[in-house]
Amino acid sequence: MNSSELFERSKLVAPGGVHSPVRSFKSVGGNPIFFKSGKGAYLTDIEGKDYIDFCLSFGPLILGHRDEEIEEVVKETIHTAWTFGACEPYSLELAEFIVSEIPWVEKIRFVSSGTEAVMSALRVARAYTGRDKILKFDGCYHGHLDALLVKSGSGLAGEPDSDSAGISRRQMADTLVIPLDDEKQLEEVFARHGSEIAVVAIEPLPANYGLLIQRKEFIESIFRIARQHGSLVLFDEVISGFRIGFRGMSDLFDEKPDLVTYGKIIGGGFPVGAYAGRKDLMDLVAPSGPVYQAGTLSGNPIGMRAGLATLKKLKEQNVHSTLKLRTQTFVHKFLHILNSKSTKQWGGVTYDSLFWFHEDVNDPIRTIDKIPSSHKEDFAKLFHALLSKGVYLAPSGYEVGFLSLAHTDEVLEKVYSALESIDLR
């Protein structure tokens, strides 16, 4: 049985044959690969072929697949508990660790996904401010909750629209959307709606529509204008939290977000999310306050213990500094080889252990309208060329790549060799 045969079977029982759209290879063409195992920097498909993995489950595996130390913790936990639906010490230990390490996180609530975390944080913001509207930015992704699947410009100019069917007009009307990197439009939307905006939600490092690194001055303007109008600021650090340094992007600014969401790395490879922030905001959450949010599997002991072990290893071994330098070196060498193999001149950008390849352009790409129009097609060619040589990138040109501690120099040399053997001319 090969992947194509399994995909045909899967399409009979699952929408599009997948359980998350980007897995379908729709953006790059062809059929998805079915993997049976992962270890270190490698994925192994059902036919036994190995691939060097730069998708890393879209970010959480900062130590690589099944890091040996984390695996021991997981095995021990599985022999102890799977789930309680009751109080236990494991979520307490992770919560205490995060609160002790991040000064602007005074309290935290664990959930099971990043989408849940953002949804709950928005509810807290609306309860605290007594306002209904949310401001978000085109090019940021905050999960698949209705309020944040609204298209660019819909709240500020013209009829609302969404990125998904099934979202009500009333829901869309309460979401305002403006471009990234545009202080003028930020000022304008607050001039029109400032007294109605409960919260400004942003990925401080947008990493779901390319790697759109924002100017520090732009982020600081969000704090300034939101404060002037009594609106809260929510940093979505589901990707960047504990991957961009130990304290995430929030550590880079004098002003701190009122609320912050985490996911991915804090679960050590298991499904965990969290929302956190100031004590007065978080104490609005039930049972302390009137904002209801619950979850049967929240604080799952396996994710809690795997997450805590991961965070401790990141800190003790200074993993972030290692990965930052390694990623810069990797992208530099990768692009040097790639541009000798392609008629298209490629460029790339890194931020700590994240990277993104795109057509070489003169100015930094900070907004989605600056992404070259040929990017999707160009990336699909690169993706399949590398895939044929055993290198697996995320199957979309708009997803970023990740390095893990398991991507040693020896592993990366194999990537360079694979790249030398392809031809995109």
Please give the distance of CA 124 from its chain centroid, rounded to a whole number.
22
Question: In sequence order, what are the residues at sequence separation of 6 or more whose Cβ sits closer than 8 angstroms to the Cβ of residue 67?
Answer: 310, 313, 405, 406
Residues 248 and 134 reside in one and the same domain = yes
Is residue 156 domain-shared with residue 32, that is, in the same domain?
no
Please give the pLDDT value at position 362.
86
Whole-number pLDDT of residue 174: 87
Same domain, yes or no: 50 and 95:
no
Beta-carbon count within 10 A of 42 CB: 18
pLDDT score for 169 = 73
Per-residue pLDDT of the chain (425 residues; tens, 9 = 90+): 899 999 999 999 999 999 999 899 999 999 999 999 999 999 999 999 999 999 999 999 999 999 999 999 999 999 999 999 999 999 999 999 999 999 999 999 999 999 999 999 999 999 999 999 999 999 999 988 777 877 653 333 344 556 777 766 777 788 999 999 999 999 999 999 999 999 999 999 999 999 999 999 999 999 999 999 999 999 999 999 999 999 999 999 999 999 999 999 999 999 999 999 999 999 999 999 999 999 999 999 999 999 999 999 999 999 999 999 999 999 999 999 999 999 889 999 999 999 999 999 989 999 999 999 999 999 999 999 999 999 999 999 999 999 999 999 999 999 999 999 998 87
Active site residue 174: no
Q: Is 62 part of any domain?
A: no
Q: Which of 236, 258, 352, 378 is catalytic?
A: 236
Same domain, 296 and 214: yes
pLDDT at 150: 74
133 noted as active-site residue: no
pLDDT at 149: 73
264 is catalytic: yes
369 and 304, same domain (yes or no): no
- Edge-to-edge strand ranges of the sheet holding 133-138: 107-111, 273-277, 259-262, 232-236, 197-202, 133-138, 175-179
Catalytic residue among 42, 264, 351, 378: 264
> By C-alpha distance, which of 185, 227, 222 is closest to 203?
222
Same-domain check for residues 194 and 160 = yes
Burial 144-162 (b: 16+ CB within 10 A, else e): bbebbbbebbbbbeeebeb
Asked whether residue 61 is assigned to any structural domain, the reply reads no
Do 48 and 75 have their domain in common?
A: no
Enter the pTM of the model: 0.94
Surface-to-core class of residue 423, CB atoms within 10 Å of its CB (0-12 exposed, 13-18 middle, 19+ buried): exposed
Spatial distance between the Cα atoms of 87 and 73, rounded to a whole number of angstroms: 20
The catalytic position among 42, 128, 141, 209 is 141
Are 23 and 167 contained in the same domain?
no
Q: How many residues does this entry show for the chain?
A: 425
Beta bridge partners of 392: 53
Q: What CATH number is given to the structural domain containing 380? A: 3.90.1150.10
Which residues are paired to 37 by β-bridges? 44
Domain boundary among 284, 316, 348: 316
Residues 401 and 299 in one domain: no
pLDDT at 158: 42
Measured in whole angstroms, how far is the alpha carbon of residue 135 from the centre of its chain? Answer: 19
Q: Which of 255, 281, 316 is the last residue of a domain?
A: 316
Within a domain: residue 297? yes
Total structural domains in the chain?
Answer: 2
SS3 string, the chain, reads: CCHHHHHHHHHHHCHHHCCCHHHHCCCCCCCCCCEEEEEECEEEECCCCEEEECCHHHCCCCCCECCHHHHHHHHHHHCCCCCCCCCCHHHHHHHHHHHHHCCCCCEEEEECCHHHHHHHHHHHHHHHHCCCEEEEEECCCCCCCHHHCECCCCCCCCCCCECCCCCCHHHHHCEEEEECCCHHHHHHHHHHHHHHEEEEEECCCCCCCCCCCCCHHHHHHHHHHHHHCCCEEEEECCCCCCCCCCCCHHHHCCCCCCEEEECHHHHCCCCCEEEEECHHHHCCECCCCCECCCCCCCCCHHHHHHHHHHHHHHHHCCHHHHHHHHHHHHHHHHHHHHCCCECCCEEEEEECCEEEEEECCCCCCCCHHHCCCCHHHHHHHHHHHHHCCCEECCCCCCCCEECCCCCCHHHHHHHHHHHHCCCEC
* Residues spanned by the domain of 362: 3-54+318-420
Tokens at 158, concatenated: 């013209």
Same domain, 193 and 213: yes
